[in-house]
Amino acid sequence: MREYTAAAKRFYDSAIWIKCRKAYIASVFNLCEKCRRPGTILHHKTEINDANINDPDVTLNHSNLIYLCIECHNDIHAGRAVTRDDVRFEDGQLVEV
Ligand SMILES: [Zn+2]
């Protein structure tokens, strides 16, 4: 597992994130957005770091989130592309089409 900074841990424990996470997961019916099996991990497409941890456009923006099962999440971290109809990878960035 990755190590979180103190700021990231505070964020992931915050009521606003827990509420955002719950609302987002409900909006995708608890299913992995890639393969439609039950999901487990809510992934930030733009990864959270100390520079953007206080920017709600990054941390709480639904368009920066994707709900995944462990297998599909591992694919992302292995550098394999996520395929969705409404987004594609461009220069390593996920962009809306
Ligand atoms: Zn999946």
pLDDT tens readout for residues 63-89: 999 999 999 999 887 876 555 555 665
Give the pLDDT band of residue 12 (cuts 50, 70, 90): very high
Range in 14-23, 26-35, 69-78, 85-94 with the lowest mean pLDDT: 85-94
Average pLDDT, the chain: 87
Confidence check: pLDDT of 1 > 90: no
Ligand 1: centre distance to CA 72 (Å): 4
Task: Give me the pLDDT at residue 93, please.
Answer: 62
- In order, the DSSP letters of the chain are -PPPPHHHHHHHTSHHHHHHHHHHHHHTTTB-TTT-SBP-EEEESS---TTTTT-HHHHT-GGGEEEE-HHHHHHHHTTPPP--SSEEEETTEEEE-
**pTM of the full structure:** 0.74
**Ligand 1 centroid distance, CA of 97 (Å):** 21
Q: Where do the structural domains in the chain lie, given as residue ranges?
A: 6-69
Residues counted in the chain: 97
Distance 1 CA to ligand 1 centre (A): 18
- For residue 67, which of 23, 31, 37, 95 has the smallest C-alpha distance? 31
CA of 7 to the centre of ligand 1 (A): 28
